[in-house]
Structure formats: C-alpha cells, structure tokens
Chain A
C-alpha cells in the first residue's frame, strides 16, 4: 500500500443556496519519497486538495489514508498529534512568528513536541546551516528578505524529519531567481531524507522540479504523469 491513498474525495462548498464543487471524485496514491506537484489554474481546487491531504479540512465524501490511518476520521486532538509527528508545512506567505528569531522559528515544531531547548536549538542550527542562513539565526522575520524568510520556513518544515512536507505556492511571493534557490533547497532536503514532498503551484517552472505532475482542472484530475524531464536525468 502506498503512503498516501486518496479514495473518492469530493468536496462541495455551500455558499447560501449555491453549491460549489471544489473537488469531484479524486483518486490518488502517492509513494513514500515521491515529489509531486499539484498543478492547475487558479480556482481549480489545488489548495483544497492539499488541505484535505494535510488534515486541515474534511472532505464531503471519501477517505484519505496516510500509512493506513484514515485522517478524515481523526479528532482535532489526534490530528494535532498526527501533524506533529508526520507533517511539515511551507506557506506561501511564510507565516513566521514575528517576535521569534530565525532559530526560534525553526525550532518551533520541536518545541511543540516537548524537546528541551538545548537539543532543539542544535537541530534548528543544523537546519539553518543547510538552507544557508547560519549567519541569520539571531534575526527576526522583519530583518530578512522574502527569500530568506521562506528558507527559514523550509527549515522549519523539515526540522522535525516529517514523513510528508506540504507546500502551497511556496514561491508565490518570490522573484524567479529566488524561486529557483528556494525550490532547489526544498527538493534537496526532501531527497536527502527520502521525504514525500507535495507542492501546489500554477507555475509550469515549478512543476518541472517534481517527479510527478498531477494536473487538476475544475476539481478533476486531468492528467497524472511522471515528469519526463526529471526521469530523463
């Protein structure tokens, strides 16, 4: 069985009396260590799918099995614990804690796990080094550029060695040069520890980095193919 099994996922939003079908019967399975890009136009349902995969949203129908556990049936409490153990998250708008330094931000997921300060700072330090921000560890988010902030965000997503890292438009706010840097770091980190990485994007250039591109149109999977260019290399 694959690491992630999505069966018959359907998501319908109700706004007043109107029904909006964001996802229409999605079936997917993703293996451990795969780097996938959920690709599609704006409003096609990419974020909705990602949020359901991460347990942030419940589908109207269907099930999401991660390592055999149906996360759609978990309580809020269990989900928090599940995310703490298995999931990392990279946001489009970074979402760093403005009062904390880069080091503290990276160490946050470890702090939530109850790791003591000395130990978690050591891990966070290593992470910051591997995203090339060793010199910035004492800086707060507003003292850093967008690209630097996103690198801190990536370090934070990977620091606890999650099984899966989700990234919703991670480069949406960055220029093309920085986008390249950030994508390369992310791919490198995922490969290094054989972690599953699921990226949401509407940008063809981003999709190029993935092993597998899942193309979504209007809540349906239009195509689901290995990325030729990556496979060629």
Chain B
C-alpha cells in the first residue's frame, strides 16, 4: 500500500468517528498544555533567575578573607596561593596585600602637598580586567610596570591638604573637583621612625586610570588604590627593614584577601567548600544563587509531574479509543485481510491513527499554550508565589516563555505518546483472525 493511501485511510477512519476522535484529542491537548505551560514557566523562571543573578556580578568568584586566621592553621599566603592554583576548577587567583596602617602613603600635587593615607592594595594589575574591573577613566596599558597605580572610584577625594589643619578635605558628593587629578605627580612614601636619621624613601608612581564603581568586586574598586603586587611586596620588606621589624625567616607574607575564579558557577560550591576545609572564611554568590535555583527547580518539578500525569491519562485515553475502534472494526479488518491487505499495512494504519491523535492533540495543545502563555504574561501575576515575584521583579516581567524548540519538542512528544499508545491496539488488530471477523454478523 502506498503511504498516501494509508494516510487517507487513517484520516478517513478518524473522521468517521469525529466525536470520539475529538474527545480523545482533548485529552492530549490538556496534557500537552500542562507540560508546555509548565516548561514555559520554568524557562521564564530560569531566565528571570539568571538575569537576577547576572546583575549580582560574577558568580564564579570566591573571596577568601585573610583575617581571623590563627597562627596554628594554614596561612593565607603564597604557599596556599600555589595550592589553590593547582585545583582543576580554578582558572585564576588574585591575592591582595596591604601595608600595615600608617606604613606608607601616597602624595600628589605640588611638592607632595596632598596626601593619601587610606587603603593601598598590592594586586596582580594585569589580572584586574579579567576579574571584572572596568575603567571610568584611562585605559589598560599593553604592558604593566611596577610604578603603575590604579585609582579607586573615589580615591582622588581621599587626598587631603597637608598644609591645612581644618577644611582640608573635599567630599566626593560635594560636586567639587578633588585636590588632585591624574596628571599630577604622585609618589609613594615609606614611613620611617620619627627619630630616624634616614630620609623616608619615595618612589615615583604613575596613575593609569580610575576604576568604575562595582560593589561586587573584592578588593574594593571604590576606596582603594591598586599597585603592583611585586612592588608592594618589596616596599613592605623595605618598610620592615627601615623600621627594625624583625622577620622570622620561615614567616611568609600574609594576604589581605585572595580572590579565586572558578571555571564554572556549578563548581563554585565544591571549590568554596574545599577552601573552607582549610579553615578560611569565604564569600561567594553561591549562598544567594543556590536557594534561588533550588526553588525554581522545585517548582518546575512539581508542575512537571502534574503535566506528566495528565499526559499519561491522555495516553490511556488514546489506547482505550483505539481498542474500542478495533472492536468496532473487527469485521472491516477481517475483510481487508481477506482482500489481501498486508499485515504491516494494517498495523501501520492503526499506528498512524494513534499518532495522528497525538499530533493533533499536540498541535492544539501548543496553540492553546501560546494563548495561555500570552494571558499569563499580560494579565496574570504571582502565579507561583511570593519568592517568585521577588525574582521576576528584577527581571523583564515576562514569566512564561515558549521558545521554538519547546513547540517542536511538544509536537514530537505528543505524537510519540500517541504512537506508543497505539502499539498495543495495533498488534491486537493485526492478530484478528480474518475468518472469525468475516463470520461476525454485521
């Protein structure tokens, strides 16, 4: 038999039993709608969650804090830095070292009149861009040198006028320009004891720009001046030497903090736990991301189970309809067999009927789902509870998303459900004895 003939026979049979075909199809429609809408809500949720998380910053970063570490545990130093870098999920790690408070300052302007005594961080300057730091002014240089410094967003306002004792500050929100600007001459000065005969050493430093404010980054991009890690390391040693601070030969330089970048946000939890196992305090977005994602997944699972159940019911409906149809058509099938219709052709006609019911149900299901999706997005709110609203509030507001692949998948799935439901009945039809079928009274 030609495929076209089988198809028209199959459609003819369905059309002949319009009402029953329709009712069976409705079962599939409901099942398909349930699944498509569920998945579309899930996708909407996922997109909203992703968007919300993206606005929180780089989710692959873990900050390891350098304080609160007792002397008998692993220290946050270059040794640990090496250990961390060897972890397979770590793509980059950036330490930050700071001089003791008051041990260094940066001067700027005429004869070093303006003085900066706030935070200075020694970092890997060449890694900053990859870590997510951006510049408000200036440009990243091709090659980095040890005399380069990078200003925090508000650091220029932290230079005070050393010639005055009152009114020697300009606040960043005053709207006025700070005392210094990037074109001024800047120098880093290492403090020496007041009674020392030695002159305090100064080093010429060159600002390359000002960072854009980003609260998600550690060390702070707002209230800090960055300088090369290696230079800072040398200056700290220099300071200790000049001030007669004894250094134990085994003692290593402690980091202020260590920022670790993971290869994937799904590995953050593992790496963070591993770092914590050394006794360090850490911070990452994981604590926020995890519950959000868990909840989204939970809701999807619940809705998905409902959808699956309704489609299962639809499948049973199809099987039932097909079996009834076979009972009615016993005689017809017998006659077809006597007239020489091949067994496989009979089987295929029945499978096609079941698949056609599935396909039509899928098609209408998808169409209705599009409508429901539209309604949810335009008229509905808070479909899935409070926490969801918090997330969706941050996102675009669209809560049900039906991408093209979902449409295709739903159609294929519904058709398959029909097909599978039809296997049993089709085998049954094939087994009908031609003889008993034609002996049956019409």
Q: Tell me the A residues contacting B by CB distance below 8 Å.
A: 51, 54, 56-57, 76-77, 80-81, 83-85, 87, 89, 91, 93, 95, 97, 99-100, 108-109, 111-114, 116-117, 156, 160
- Cross-chain contact of A83 among B1, B16, B340 (Cβ < 8 A): B340
Chain A proximity of B346: nearest CB distance (Å)? 9
Most chain A beta-carbon neighbours within 10 Å: one of B337, B339, B341 = B339
Question: In the bound complex, do residue A91 and residue B1 qualify as a contact, i.e. CB atoms below 8 Å apart?
Answer: no
* Interface CB pairs A-B, < 8 A, 12: A57-B435, A76-B343, A80-B341, A80-B342, A83-B339, A87-B340, A89-B338, A95-B331, A111-B2, A112-B336, A112-B342, A113-B340
Question: In the bound complex, do residue B338 and residue A116 qualify as a contact, i.e. CB atoms below 8 Å apart?
Answer: no
Q: How far is the CA of A152 from the CA of B294 in the complex (A)?
A: 69
Q: Is B332 an interface residue (CB 8 A)?
A: yes
With contacts A99-B12, A99-B16, A116-B2 taken as known, whether A108 is within 8 angstroms of B339 at the C-beta atoms is: yes
Q: How far is the CA of A113 from the CA of B341 in the complex (A)?
A: 8
Question: In the bound complex, do residue B1 and residue A114 qualify as a contact, i.e. CB atoms below 8 Å apart?
Answer: yes
Chain A contacts for B337, CB-based, 8 A: 80
The 4 closest A-B pairs by CB, nearest first: A84-B340, A83-B340, A112-B341, A95-B335
Q: How far is the CA of A51 from the CA of B437 in the complex (A)?
A: 13
With contacts A99-B12, A99-B16 taken as known, whether A109 is within 8 angstroms of B2 at the C-beta atoms is: no
Question: In the bound complex, do residue B16 and residue A56 qualify as a contact, i.e. CB atoms below 8 Å apart?
Answer: no
Chain B contacts for A160, CB-based, 8 A: 340
Question: In the bound complex, do residue A109 and residue B340 qualify as a contact, i.e. CB atoms below 8 Å apart?
Answer: yes
Question: In the bound complex, do residue B442 and residue A112 qualify as a contact, i.e. CB atoms below 8 Å apart?
Answer: no
Q: Tell me the B residues contacting A by CB distance below 8 Å.
A: 1-2, 4-5, 12-13, 16, 331-332, 335-343, 345, 434-435, 438, 442
- Cross-chain contact of B342 among A77, A91, A93 (Cβ < 8 A): A77
Chain A proximity of B438: nearest CB distance (Å)? 7
Chain A contacts for B4, CB-based, 8 A: 117
Chain A proximity of B3: nearest CB distance (Å)? 10
B342's nearest neighbour on chain A, judged by CB, is A80
A107's nearest neighbour on chain B, judged by CB, is B5
- Cross-chain contact of A91 among B2, B341, B438 (Cβ < 8 A): B438
Chain B contacts for A56, CB-based, 8 A: 338, 434-435, 438
Q: How far is the CA of A54 from the CA of B338 in the complex (A)?
A: 9
Chain A proximity of B290: nearest CB distance (Å)? 60
Chain A proximity of B89: nearest CB distance (Å)? 59
B434's nearest neighbour on chain A, judged by CB, is A56
Chain B proximity of A81: nearest CB distance (Å)? 7
A156's nearest neighbour on chain B, judged by CB, is B339
With contacts A57-B435, A111-B1, A116-B2 taken as known, whether A77 is within 8 angstroms of B343 at the C-beta atoms is: yes
A88's nearest neighbour on chain B, judged by CB, is B339
Chain B proximity of A163: nearest CB distance (Å)? 13
Chain B contacts for A83, CB-based, 8 A: 338-340
Chain A proximity of B253: nearest CB distance (Å)? 85
Question: In the bound complex, do residue B5 and residue A85 qualify as a contact, i.e. CB atoms below 8 Å apart?
Answer: no
A89's nearest neighbour on chain B, judged by CB, is B338
Chain B contacts for A51, CB-based, 8 A: 435
With contacts A56-B434, A95-B331, A114-B2 taken as known, whether A89 is within 8 angstroms of B339 at the C-beta atoms is: yes
Chain B proximity of A108: nearest CB distance (Å)? 6
Chain A proximity of B334: nearest CB distance (Å)? 8
Chain A proximity of B392: nearest CB distance (Å)? 53
A108's nearest neighbour on chain B, judged by CB, is B339
With contacts A77-B342, A84-B340, A112-B342 taken as known, whether A95 is within 8 angstroms of B438 at the C-beta atoms is: yes
Q: How far is the CA of A109 from the CA of B338 in the complex (A)?
A: 10
Q: How far is the CA of A66 from the CA of B282 in the complex (A)?
A: 89
Chain A proximity of B430: nearest CB distance (Å)? 9
A51's nearest neighbour on chain B, judged by CB, is B435
A77's nearest neighbour on chain B, judged by CB, is B343
Question: In the bound complex, do residue B16 and residue A80 qualify as a contact, i.e. CB atoms below 8 Å apart?
Answer: no
Q: How far is the CA of A84 from the CA of B2 in the complex (A)?
A: 15
Chain A contacts for B442, CB-based, 8 A: 93, 95
A57's nearest neighbour on chain B, judged by CB, is B435
A97's nearest neighbour on chain B, judged by CB, is B332
B442's nearest neighbour on chain A, judged by CB, is A93
Q: How far is the CA of A109 from the CA of B434 in the complex (A)?
A: 15
Chain B proximity of A101: nearest CB distance (Å)? 11
Chain A proximity of B26: nearest CB distance (Å)? 23
Q: How far is the CA of A114 from the CA of B344 in the complex (A)?
A: 13
Chain B contacts for A87, CB-based, 8 A: 340
Chain B contacts for A93, CB-based, 8 A: 442
Q: How far is the CA of A54 from the CA of B345 in the complex (A)?
A: 21
